[in-house]
């Protein structure tokens, strides 16, 4: 996309009659606008891609946390002194035991 600002010919679109020059200006407007529309499409694709990656990571974290909780629950059933505290597996035995 060009950093040079190009002026749209919209201020002249109300002039009648609509001659060939008017149509050329209208076409020129679309040529100016098209790169910005293309960039919007690209940005939207990138945003959707990032959202999908975030959703995948969130799902993996949820699965990991559920698996970790299941392991802690199983080990607790066998009197293994562990628990999940602040998203970390910790030993629940008191010192000196």
What are 54-70's pLDDT values in tens digits? 999 999 999 998 998 88
DSSP per residue over 57-68, as a string?
HHHHHHHHHHHH
Better-predicted residue by pLDDT, 5 or 11: 5
Count the alpha carbons within 13 Å of 65 in the hemisphere toward its beta carbon: 11
What is the CA angle 15-16-20, rounded to 5?
95
Give the chain's mean pLDDT: 79
CA dist 50 and 9 (Å) reads: 37
Q: Is the dihedral of CA 52, 53, 54, 56 positive or negative?
A: positive
Does the pLDDT at position 2 exceed 60? Answer: no
Query: For 81-95, what is each residue's pLDDT tens digit?
Result: 877 777 777 877 875
């Amino acid at each position: 996309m060009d950093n040079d600002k190009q002026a749209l010919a919209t201020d002249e679109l109300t002039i009648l009659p609509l001659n060939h020059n008017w149509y050329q200006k209208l076409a020129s407007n679309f040529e100016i606008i098209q790169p910005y529309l293309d960039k919007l499409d690209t940005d939207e694709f990138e945003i959707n891609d990032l959202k999908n990656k975030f959703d995948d990571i969130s799902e993996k974290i949820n699965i990991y946390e559920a698996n970790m909780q299941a392991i802690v629950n199983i080990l607790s059933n066998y009197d293994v002194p562990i628990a999940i505290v602040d998203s970390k597996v910790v030993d629940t035995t008191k010192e000196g035991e």
